[in-house]
Structure 1
Amino acid sequence: MTLDPEDSKLITLARAARARNGSAEGAAVRDETGRTYSATDVTLSSLTLSAVQVAVAMAVSSGARSLEAAALVSEGDPGSADEEVARELGAGALLVAGPDGTPRS
């Protein structure tokens, strides 16, 4: 699978966030202006969010109206909520890669 360089950058950002925090998953999104946001999953006793949900929330709270792309780096598969939130803002299919950065979908 050959990726657009901008999509490869999202995977790199998601991998870096995941490694920096020692998290199970990392995500990155690109908004309609080209700004990128990366995040990891959040698990607190009072709040649980996936990495994709956090990255999308960061983008929206920064004023993004739509997403050009979204990527998830994880050993597992994305949840349906991750795919739905990416589509809701126009990202289309969620790009999923393994921890080594190899795209799976």
Structure 2
Amino acid sequence: MTLDPEDSKIITLARAARARNEAAEGAAVRDETGRTYSATNVALSSLRLSAVQVAAAMAISSGARSLEAVALVTAGEPDPADEAVAAELGVKALLVAGPDGTLRS
């Protein structure tokens, strides 16, 4: 499967965030204006957020009205809540890649 260069970019951003923070998940989103936001999951005893939730929250709190794309890099499977966040913000399919960047879905 050949990816759009902009989709490849957000997978790369998600991988970099995950590696930089040594996190279980990395995510990146692209909003309707082309701005990108990357994040990792938050796993505190008092707060648990997926990487997709953090990246989407960053975009929305910066004024984004919708998202064009969402990428998740994880060794596991995406949480249904991540797919729901992406869908609510207008994304038809969550891009899911393994830690090596290989697209899985």
TM-score by length of 1: 0.99
Aligned to 2:8: 8
Cα RMSD of the aligned pairs, angstroms, is 0.4
SS at match of 1:93: coil
TM-score by length of 2: 0.99
Query: Structure 1 runs of 4+ off > 3 angstroms?
Result: none
Per-residue CA deviations over 1:48-87 (Å, capped at 9, x if unaligned) read: 0000000000000000000000000000010000000001
Offset, 1:92:
1.3
Per-residue CA deviations over 1:7-61 (Å, capped at 9, x if unaligned) read: 0000000000000000001000000000000000001111000000000000000
Aligned to 1:77: 77
Q: How does 1:1-105 map to 2 (within 5 A)?
A: 1-105=1-105
CA distance in 2, matches of 1:92, 1:41: 22
- Identify unmatched segments of 5+ residues in structure 2: none
Offset, 1:91:
1.4
Total equivalences in the alignment: 105
Taking every aligned residue pair, what percent have the same amino acid on both sides? Answer: 82
SS at match of 2:91: coil
